Amino acid sequence: MISEQHEHHLPYDPEGSRLGMWLFLFSELLLFGGLFILYASYLTKYTADFVIAGKELSRTIGAINTIILLVSSYFVAASITAIRRNAPRIAMLYVGSAITLGLVFLINKYFEWGHKFHLGIYPRGPALEDRTNGEVIFYGLYYCVTGLHGLHVIIGGTLLAFALYYIYRKKITAERFVFLENAGLYWHLVDLIWIFVFPLFYLVV
């Protein structure tokens, strides 16, 4: 849907492609919306347990990851300006930087998860079994939300990688750059969701 190279009888219509992408983003937001509803109900029910469990998450890594995603979003926005000004090499540099930052985010996440696994804090894990119900739920939500978000980082990064390739092959140009715009929109969604995930799990509790 992002790349749909139209059949020859349909005209090139970037506005329509963007509309399709926005609709898809709505559906993505609602996908996470279901998890946020669960979070809201369980936070009300198990406030004290959520506070205990939330304090165990590393705010430093969370904050670093937030900055990483925000900066990568800036790079994506800058790449669109660059391609508009017909500077494909600079655009490629920006997109490449955004992908790299996405990878750094995932590496941080890997170590964060890995540390928790090492401590035995995971569903059916030895350390989590003795905890209160609220803490089990907190970590259940934590793994679901950050896991699903991580999956979206991977999808977004893949889209950006395709955009990079298309700029290189001159399929994305100053006249036709809707693929880059849509990949960028998706990346901003990934960023936006994290902007909610970070305070909910690392700061609020």
Partner 1 sequence: MNEQKRAVSYLESASGILSWLGTSDHKRVALLYLFAASLWFLIATLLGFSLRLELMFPGKQLMTAQTYNAVFTLHGVIMIFLFLIPAIPAIFGNFIMPLQIGAKDVFFPRLNLFAWYLYMAGGLFALLSLFFDGPPDTGWTFYVPFSIMTQTNVVLTTTAAFILGFSSILTGLNFITTIHRLRTEKMGWLQIPLFTWSIYATSWVQVLATPIIGITLLLVILERVFGIGLFDPSKGGDPILYQHLFWMYSHPAVYIIILPAMGVISEIIPVAARKSIFGYKAIVGSSLGIAFAGSLVWAHHMYTSGMSDMAVLVFSFLTFIVAVPSAIKVFNWVATLYKGSIVMGPPFLLSLYFIFLFSIGGLTGLVLGAASTNIHVHDTQFVVAHFHFVMFGGTAFAFIAAVYFWFPKMFGRLYDFKNAYRGSTLLFIGFCIHYFPMFILGLQGMPRRYFDYVPRFATGNFIAGIGGMTMMIGIFLIVYNLWRGLRHGERAPQNPWGGVTLEWMLPSPPPTENFESAPEVKAYPYDFEEGKKL
Tokens 């739920």, residue located: 137
Contact flag: residue 6 with partner 1 (CB under 8 A)? yes
Given the complex with partner 1, which of 23 and 70 has the nearer CB atom? 23
- Binding mask 49-88 toward partner 1 (x if CB under 8 A, else -) reads ----------------------------------------
Which residues, 6+ apart, have CB-to-CB distance to 154 below 8 Å? 106
Contact flag: residue 20 with partner 1 (CB under 8 A)? yes
The CA angle 40-44-50, to the nearest 5 degrees, is: 90
Contact flag: residue 118 with partner 1 (CB under 8 A)? no
Which residues, 6+ apart, have CB-to-CB distance to 142 below 8 Å? 53, 57, 201
Given the complex with partner 1, which of 28 and 112 has the nearer CB atom? 28
Distance from the first to the final alpha carbon of the chain: 39
In the complex, what is the shortest distance from the CB of residue 97 to partner 1, in angstroms, rounded to a whole number? 30
> Per CB under 8 A, which of residues 137..196 are in contact with partner 1?
137, 140-141, 143-144
Neighbours of 37 (CB within 10 A): 10
How many angstroms separate the CA atoms of 153 and 173, rounded?
25
Tokens 């750059």, residue located: 177
**Using CB under 8 A, which of 12, 31, 111, 168 touches partner 1?**
31
Applying CB under 8 A, the residues found at the interface with partner 1 are 1, 4, 6-7, 9-10, 13, 15-16, 19-20, 23-24, 26-35, 37-38, 41-42, 45-46, 123-124, 132-134, 136-137, 140-141, 143-144
